[in-house]
A and B are shown apart, each in its own frame.
Chain A
Amino acid sequence: MRQLIVIALLVCALVPSAAFAAQPQFSMNEIETELMCPTCQSRLDLSHAPAAEQIRSFVARKREEGWTKQQVKDALVQDFGPAVLAAPPASGVGLVAWIVPAALVVGGVGVVVALTLVWRRRRRAEDVAVATVDPALDDRVDEALRALGDDD
């Protein structure tokens, strides 16, 4: 009798965890936007090509088995290569695709800052040039202007 109770308790303890283990870890909609159809180069959620349907059914099968999204992606990359991922991996050659846009943004900001500094410096130099006009020359110009005014 005691044995039966122990077995029953063990079964009760295991059933919820087994049920949890088989719980889908991600939604189909979510993963389909993160994968590519390998034969048509469009996103999986937008494709109905036979290869896309095959991947969709594989993903659904593994999801039901309780695989994580990463496990599914890893398995697909093994068979189709990294091109099956909508976003390139952040390692190896794929890293370049992440670095280049970031480098362009940083470089662009750098160019804007540099140009602003150059323009500002040039303007300041012009202001200084204006401020340092020879006073004697300034007087002569004033004199000439006055003389012109008297002629009128």
Chain B
Amino acid sequence: MKRLVVIVVAVAIIALGIVLGRAVMETSGSRAFPAEVASGALPQAPGFDLQNLSGTGTTSLASFKGQIVVLNFWASWCDPCKDEAPILEDFWQTEAKPQGVAMVGIDTQDLREDARVFAKEYGLTYPLVHDSGGAIGRAYGVGAFPETFVLDAQGRAVAWFPGEVTAKGLREAIAKAGGS
């Protein structure tokens, strides 16, 4: 009887630990991925298949296999994202697209409705997706906005930019990823 009581209490404590641990993981995420990128470890970027911001169709990371990819995490409420949007659009038009470098804007922790207004206002023409629920942002360890990652043709993250990017920074990261 005593043994049964101990088992019941132990199972209850373990179950509680799992639930709390899961809740913490789900809400806070981890900054492990950007830390790995910053250390130069070239971690494999988490895959995704997200709905396009327009509402029709999806875009997956796998669809850019063999290409260098610039991934920009943003949100319409984020002020630095407003300063960064014209830089990214210009970079896309004048450098990334002509070189065959893919670029994806991942709208996360944001209202789709407001994100669409933002995209229209800044005339963003590169692919934009919506990270519903924020799981992909958490997988990339996004903790502040904006954040940008540059992936090489093998899908490994070669650079991480916390905060606003510059065209110069992107150029250097693309060169590091094996681009021109």
Contact = CB atoms under 8 A, between A and B. Distances in A.
A82 B78 contact: no
Interface in A40-96: 41, 50-51, 53-55, 58, 76, 78-83, 88, 93, 96
Chain B interface size band reads: 20 to 34
A12 to B, nearest CB: 35
Interface string A90-123: 0001001100100110010011001100100000
B132 A78 contact: yes
Interface of B: 1-2, 5, 8-9, 12, 15-16, 19, 22-23, 26-28, 75-79, 109-114, 130, 132-135
B16 A97 contact: no
A22 B5 CA distance: 57
Q: Is the interface of B mostly helix, strand, loop or mixed?
A: helix
Interface of A: 38-39, 41, 50-51, 53-55, 58, 76, 78-83, 88, 93, 96-97, 100, 103-104, 107, 110-111, 114-115, 118
B79 A50 contact: yes
Given A38-B109, A96-B19, A111 B9 contact: yes
B76 A54 contact: yes
A41 B132 contact: no
Contacts of B12: 100, 103-104, 107
Given A38-B134, A97-B19, A83 B26 contact: yes
A83 B2 CA distance: 40
